[in-house]
Amino acid sequence: MADRQNGFGTGVIYVLIATLGWSLSGLFVRWMPGLNGWQINCWRGLWMAIALLVYLIILYGPELGNKFRSVPPYAMFFSAVCFAMGTTFYVTSLTLVSTATVSIIGATSPLFAGLLSPWLTGEKPGAMAWVSAFLALGGMVVIAQNGIETGHLGGLLLCLSVPIMFALQTLLLRRYRNVDMMPAICVGGFLSFIVAGFMSFFSGYDHSAVAIDLHSMLLLALMGPLQLAIPLVFYGMGARVVPAITLALIAMLDAVINPFWPWLFIGEVPERASFIGGAIILAAVFLSVLSSQIKPSPKVAA
């Protein structure tokens, strides 16, 4: 029992580290005001994939090919597609509805993780896990309430695909916890580079994804590893011991931490709602982690 608790605690720390890295996205975007979403998504994905590939080469050396082949083909395909499509749908939805609307709909990811986990991982979230998920969703509504809009129907449907893709990605990591899924995510990074680069030519922006100045490219070369690759490695390690719905809930702390980096570095003060909603999300995460400790999760499907 003590070993399980220690493993779970370490897993939570890994997911928190991952979320801390993901939360840097807003700061990096503000450092590159001249770039559009497609340009950022395209090159961030490429540098993330390169960083993951270097990491895997260092870790496995001559066995790298075997590690790629050890990932079940369908898991490789769906994990790569979920990552690439999730980032692509996120950028596209931002062009159709407000950021606040995207954030709120994105906060339904733990609910999708909970709904799908019995079939994909064999985990059946308890009542407290569901309470935590809805509480976190309420916190996100508080944070983004001033910017909520009904928006374009197509945009809302596209927004809905973002939390579904993230939930599926999380569930795949959890289901195949005994396999290193970083090769699949590495493939997803290269795929997102191709998809975002292709879409940039049809996005209506004046500049395509290839029109990047050196300063921005250097920032993106830092953003890919620091804000995506390293966090994903820690998230994958956390997924080995932390239930799927708790994984998705902890990841929601991104919305809590994200505004504080611009506040710290460029003086952009968060709104009062960010503090109130953030406190609610923190309470939801604490409740989910506590309930996971009290009641061990069922065995994950093989």
Contact by Cβ (8 Å): 152, 98: no
DSSP conformation class of 242: S
What is the spatial distance between Cα 220 and Cα 199, in angstroms, rounded to a whole number? 19
The span from the CA of 32 to the CA of 12, in Å, is 32
Contact 254/290 with Cβ under 8 angstroms?
A: no
Q: Are 148 and 101 in contact (CB under 8 A)?
A: yes
The pLDDT, as a whole number, for residue 171 is 95
Alpha-carbon distance 202 to 75, whole Å? Answer: 30
How does pLDDT run along the chain (302 residues), one tens digit per residue?
555 556 889 999 999 999 999 989 888 888 888 887 888 888 999 999 999 999 999 999 999 999 999 999 999 999 999 999 998 888 777 767 776 677 778 888 999 999 999 989 988 888 888 999 999 888 888 877 666 655 566 777 788 888 999 999 999 999 999 999 999 999 999 999 998 888 877 766 555 667 788 999 999 999 999 999 999 999 999 999 999 999 999 998 887 888 888 888 877 777 777 788 888 888 999 888 887 766 544 444 44
Q: Cα 272 to the chain's mean position, in Å?
A: 25
Global pTM reads 0.87
CB atoms near residue 257 (< 10 Å):
17
Q: Measured between alpha carbons, how far is 281 from 250 in angstroms, rounded to an integer?
A: 9
Radius of gyration of the chain (CA): 19
Which DSSP letter does residue 296 get?
P
